Each structure stands twice: as C-alpha cells, then as structure tokens.
Amino acid sequence: MTRLITTIAEMRDIRASLTGRVGLVPTMGSLHDGHLTLMRRAREQSDVLIVSDFVNPLQFGPNEDYDRYPRDLDGDLAKVDGLADYLFAPSAEEMYPAEEPFQVDVGRIGTVFEGAMRPGHFNGVATVVLKLFTIIRPDIAVFGQKDAQQLAVIRRLVRDFNVPVDIIPAPISREGSGLARSSRNAYLDEDGRWHALALSGLLKDLSGRRMPAPELLHALEQARATSSTDVQWDYAEAVDPATFEPIDSSFTGDAVVIVAARVQGVRLLDNAEITVGT
C-alpha cells in the first residue's frame, strides 16, 4: 500500500527513518503511463520510492492553466499502488506559506524556448525541485526526457547548488500513435489528438539520425513554415542539449531537436536526439 503524506514535517520524519537508497520522482499528478515509466526506472536504482504529486503554482504564468490543470489525487494513489512507497502531496499553502517566497534564478537557460514562452517558468520549477530535494534528501531523482529543457535546468541546479543527488533521465513514453504522453493531452478532442501528431511526425523523420547541420536547419525551417490554425508552431529548433543554445550551420556533435506547438489552444512539447555531422 502506498502511504499518502501531506505535510512537510511528516515527510521529514519518515525520511529520517528510512534506510537504503531513496528514489524520488517529482510529478504534478494526473498520472499517466509516462510517469509510471519514470517510477519503474527509479525502482531499479532505489530501495524506497517516493513520488511527489504537487501542482506547483510558481511554474505557471498568470494567464496559464494553473486553476484548470487536471488533478486526481485518488486516481493517482491507485496508479502508484505497488510501485511507490510514499506519495507526497502537500497543499500549495504547505509548500509556500510566505506570500512572496524566495525563488531560484536559473539565468539564461530559463529565458530561451520554453523559458521565453513562459517567463519565470523554470525559476518556479527549480525552486520547487530544490525544496523537494531538501525535504526528501533523495539519493536519486528521475526526470523525463520529454521535458528536455527542464532536465537541463535540473542538471544545472544540482551542479550549481552542489546537491548530492544523482539525476537519472527516463526516455519519452509515447502512445501507439507516436504522441508523447502528457497530462495536457486530456484537453484535446479526437481531432486535436490527430493534429497533435504533427509534432511526433516531424521528429520521427529526424530521431536517431546523423545529418549535416545545414540540412537539419533547412528541414526545421520548412516545418515551421507549415504553421496553420490547426498546428501553430511556437518553435522547432535544434539546440545544444546542455545549454539550449541553438546550433548553427557549422555545428557537429549531439544535438536535440525541440518542438512546441499549440493545438486546440493546448501547448504540446516533444523532442528527439540527433547526431549532427557529415
């Protein structure tokens, strides 16, 4: 049976009593099979698994979907049963009792791509993850490659604040159609889910390939030019996976192609690794 914990004090007490390697999978709940993949990965490398389930207000902009973000604590508890030992689901007041909490400033990486579309988003992500790390003190924490820029931010956070936790990436979990699993897919109707395949469709052609930079940049330019009312691209770019700086036509090495688009008003993200070179 997974035990539900809602206060920081209780979480700390339990953590203090744990022995062996402690794994953490941070989530915003509304759990799907992608989250379960992360938990299985964490289980392989830990003795005790804690999943956090917290819709973090700091990472939502004023006009974003914080209030309507899907929440289903009972469903989440049922899904993690047998996989997680503890589900840590504090309230927003428990996590942020102060009106204007201090926040981590992640700098430049927080201002490009997702950071440019969602100002302050990555400061909010880094803040809540740092809090989870200090409350839970995990030995390992698993994050999905689905949110590639978030993963890069967390790696920097751990490095720059000397947090003693191993960050483990988990591959993107997809539906049979190729659509990357996301809690936000719940907002799409059947038509929207079909149009959403534009993201994974573009990446499928590039994923795992080796391609010269000019050819890759040209393919992405063409893809962006197809923006329509059904699929509005926010970006489709190739970047350095650690810095999220765009590659130029002389780049060689490992890159990640990141795409974001709006379909039926829902922001969808996807990405794929690619080797750039002749």
The binding site for ligand AMP (CB under 6 A) comprises 27-28, 34-35, 37-38, 143-144, 146-147, 170, 172-173, 180-183
Nearest distance in Å: CB 165, ligand AMP: 14
The dihedrals phi and psi of 193, each to the nearest 5 degrees, come to -65, -35
- The residue among 131 and 216 lying less far from ligand AMP, judged by its C-beta, is 131
The count of other CB atoms within 10 Å of the CB of residue 65 is 15
* Separation between Cα atoms, residue 85 and residue 88, nearest integer Å: 10
Would you say 35 is a known binding-site residue?
Answer: yes
Nearest distance in Å: CB 37, ligand AMP: 6
Nearest distance in Å: CB 185, ligand AMP: 9
Would you say 30 is a known binding-site residue?
Answer: yes
Would you say 79 is a known binding-site residue?
Answer: no
Nearest distance in Å: CB 134, ligand AMP: 18
Contacts of residue 11, Cβ cutoff 8 Å, sequence gap at least 6: 5, 50, 86, 88, 90, 135, 136
Would you say 202 is a known binding-site residue?
Answer: no
One-letter identity of residue 21:
R
Identify which of 128, 264, 126 has the alpha carbon closest to the alpha carbon of residue 184: 264
Would you say 139 is a known binding-site residue?
Answer: no
Helices (H) and strands (E) in the chain, counts: 10, 10
* Separation between Cα atoms, residue 223 and residue 238, nearest integer Å: 12
Instruction: Give the distance, in angstroms, between the CA of residue 213 and the centroid of all CA atoms in the same chain.
Output: 27
The dihedrals phi and psi of 20, each to the nearest 5 degrees, come to 85, -175
* Separation between Cα atoms, residue 31 and residue 182, nearest integer Å: 9
Would you say 120 is a known binding-site residue?
Answer: no
Nearest distance in Å: CB 32, ligand AMP: 7
- The residue among 27 and 46 lying less far from ligand AMP, judged by its C-beta, is 27
- The residue among 217 and 272 lying less far from ligand AMP, judged by its C-beta, is 272
* Separation between Cα atoms, residue 75 and residue 177, nearest integer Å: 24
Instruction: Catalogue the active-site residues.
Output: 35
- The residue among 196 and 217 lying less far from ligand AMP, judged by its C-beta, is 196
Q: Tokens for 217, please give them.
A: 């940049």
- The residue among 6 and 227 lying less far from ligand AMP, judged by its C-beta, is 6
Residue 46 β-bridge partners? none
> Which residue number places its CB atom closest to ligand AMP?
144
Would you say 149 is a known binding-site residue?
Answer: no
Residue showing tokens 């997809």 = 174
**Kind plus residue range of the DSSP H or E element containing 88:** strand 86-88
State the binding site for ATP: 28-35, 144-147, 181-184
State the binding site for beta-alanine: 59
